[in-house]
A and B are shown apart, each in its own frame.
Chain A
Amino acid sequence: MTTTDDELLRSVADLYTAYDPAPPDLADGVLARIAVEGLEIEYELLTLVERVDVNAGIRGADTATTGTVALEFAGTAYRVLVRISAAEGGGRRIDGWVLPTVPMRVFLGPAGEDVTAHTPLTAYSDLDGRFEFSAPMTGEVRLWLLPLAAAEGTGESPQSPFVTPPFRV
C-alpha cells in the first residue's frame, strides 16, 4: 500500500480533529471579542437617563449587594432598561429590556481599558426585547448591544451597535 505524503498528513489531521476537536463555541467567542474591539469608534454611547435604587438602604459597599437597582439608558434609536438584583444563590443577576424589540446580541464585559483582554458574556434578546445574565461578572461593567441582521427578506439593514456607559454590579 502506498500513501502519498498529503494523504498521510490528511489522515493525521483527521485524527486530531476527532480526538481534540475545537470547542463548539470557539468561533462565537472570537466574534464576541471582535465585536467588543473598537467599541469607542463604532458604537453609539448611550446616556444614563434614570437611576432608581429600589429598596436601597444606606448606600454603601455592603448594602450594594442586596439592593435592587434599575437603570435606564437612551440613545438615538434605542432605550435599554437594566435591573440589577440579588440572585437566589447569593450573587447578582442582570435583567434587561431593549426597545424597540429588534433581535440583538448583548455582551457584558468589564468597563476598564483592557476590555478586549476578556471574553465578554453573551446573551440574546428575545421577542419581547428581554435578555438576562444570571451570573454576571461584578464590578464596573458595560453592556454592548448589537442589533442582528433583520429577518431574511425584509430588506432592512441592521442598526448601528451601541454601548452603555459603565455601571456597577
Chain B
Amino acid sequence: MTMHGAAGSGPTSSDLYDAATDAFRRWRSDDDSALDELVRMMSPVLWHVVRATGLDREAAEDVVQNTWLTLVRSGESVRDPQAITRWLCTAARREAWRVSKAATRTRPVEDDVIDARLPVQSSPEGQVVENDAKIQLWQALARLPERCQKLLRIVAWEPRPDYSSVAEGLDMPIGSIGPTRRRCLDKLRGELGSAS
C-alpha cells in the first residue's frame, strides 16, 4: 500500500496532480486499489473546494461523497486522465453550489465570511495559533471584501479553476473572474504589507 502525504504537500503541488493522474490511469486499467489511493489523496482537496462555497461541514461531506459516486458511475466520461483533478474539483464545486442554493431557500447557509478574530482552533495543530504569519494572513483576509475572500479561497485550491463554475456560483460574469482575482491578490498583498 502506497501512502501519499499529498494532503500535506499543498494544493498547488504538481506532485499531487501527477500522483492523482497516475492513480486514475491505474484504476482505469482495472487496478481497484488505485481508486482507494485516489480517494485518499483527493478527498481533502475536494473538502476545501466544497467548503469554499459556504456549505456547512455536514453538507460538505455529502457533496464530497456524491462527487466520487459520480466519478465511479461515469468515470468513462473523463477522457483525459490528466484532467482528473480538474474534473473532480469542478464536479464538486458545481454540486456544492447546487446544494447551497437549494439550502438557502429553506435555511441560511453557514456564514462563510471570515471573522477578524481567530477562529476556535479545530485541528490538533495548536501551534498554528502561535504562528504570527498565519495570524497576520487571517486578519488581512478578514479585511478584504467578501467577494475577495470567497474567490481567493477557491483559487487557493485550484490555481486555474474552471471559471464558468466559479462565475456561476459567485454570480459574477466569467470575464471578471481573472481581473477580480488579480485585484484581490493585490489587495491581500497590500493588507499584509500595511500590517507589518
**Which of chain B's residues have a CB closer than 8 A to the CB of A16?**
48, 51-52, 153, 156
Bitwise, B9-48 to A at CB < 8 A (1) or not (0) is 0111000000000000000000001011001100110011
Instruction: Tell me the bound Cα distance from A70 to B82 in angstroms.
Output: 51
Residues in B whose Cβ lies below 8 Å from that of A29? 61, 65
The answer to whether B111 has its CB under 8 Å from any CB of chain A is no
What residues of chain B lie closer than 8 Å to A140, measured between beta carbons?
A: none
Q: Are B123 and A6 in contact (CB under 8 A)?
A: no
Distance in angstroms between the alpha carbons of A21 and B133 in the assembled complex:
19
In the complex, A12 has a CB within 8 A of chain B = yes
Instruction: Name the CB-closest residue of B to A9.
Output: B156
B contact face: mostly helix, strand, loop, or mixed: helix
Residue A150 at the B interface, CB < 8 A?
A: no
Contact A9 B155 (CB under 8 A): yes
A58 at interface, CB cutoff 8 A = no
- Contact A12-B122, Cβ < 8 Å, known A23-B57, A30-B43, A116-B69: no
Complex CA–CA separation, A20 to B120 (angstroms): 10
A12 to B114 Cα, complex, angstroms: 13
B185 interface hit (Cβ, 8 Å): yes
Across the interface, name the chain B residue whose C-beta is closest to A12.
B156
Q: How far is the CB of A144 from chain B (nearest CB, A)?
A: 15
A115-132 near B? 1/0 per residue, CB < 8 Å: 010010000000000000
Which residues of B, 115-137, contact A by the 8 Å Cβ criterion? 119, 121-123, 125, 128, 133-134, 137
B64 touches A26 (CB 8 A): yes
B65 touches A119 (CB 8 A): yes
Query: What is the bound-complex CA distance between A75 and B8, given in angstroms?
Result: 43
Contacts of A22 on B, CB cut-off 8 Å? 7, 43-44, 47-48
From B35, B48, B73, give the contact of A17 (CB < 8 A): B48
Q: Which residues of B contact A5 (CB under 8 A)?
A: 185
CB of B91 within 8 A of chain A?
no
Q: Mark A27-43, 1 if CB is under 8 A from B, else 0.
A: 10111011001100000
Q: Does B72 contact A (CB under 8 A)?
A: yes
Complex: A1 Cα to B190 Cα, angstroms: 11
Partner of B159, one of A6, A21, A37: A6
B interface vs A, CB < 8 Å? 7, 10-12, 33, 35-36, 39-40, 43-44, 47-48, 51-52, 57, 61, 64-65, 68-69, 72-73, 119, 121-123, 125, 128, 133-134, 137-138, 141, 152-153, 155-157, 159, 185, 188-189, 192-193, 196
Interface residues of A, Cβ cutoff 8 Å to B: 1, 3, 5-6, 8-23, 26-27, 29-31, 33-34, 37-38, 116, 119, 149
| 15 more CB-based (< 8 A) A-B contacts, given A9-B185, A12-B152 | A5-B185, A11-B133, A13-B10, A13-B48, A13-B156, A14-B134, A15-B141, A17-B48, A19-B121, A20-B119, A22-B44, A23-B57, A27-B43, A37-B72, A119-B65
